[in-house]
Amino acid sequence: MGTSFVAFNPLWYPDSEATHHMTNNANNFSNRTSYHGHDVAKLGNGSGIPITDIGNAHFTLPHTNIVIHLHQLLHVPTITKILMSVYKFAKENNVLFEFHVS
């Protein structure tokens, strides 16, 4: 019998193509409810993986009083990277992203 393994990674990866924020860790939620819809999280290869919960999260940035919000965060236990939708994050927190070549 096989078992599934999802590596825990506390980093959030900004994704300019993601339409929603997604996490594999239920502890990232401030509040969540079970998802009973038929939608799935679509991957770049066109396959879909189940969404188990939906909710919100908020975090205080280290060494500041700045609170950031993530609305409609999807719990997708089988993803390996925690994704932050650049568009949704900028809109929800009234910020902008700036990318530089290093």
Q: Are 60 and 67 in contact (CB under 8 A)?
A: yes
Helix (H) or strand (E) holding 88: helix 86-93
Q: Which amino acid is at 6?
A: V
Q: Which residues contact 57 (CB under 8 A, 6 or more apart)?
A: 21, 23, 28, 29, 30, 69, 70, 73
Reply yes or no on whether 15 is catalytic.
Answer: yes
Cα diameter, the chain = 48
Q: 12, 15, 32, 55: which is the annotated catalytic residue?
A: 15
Active-site residues, by number, are 15
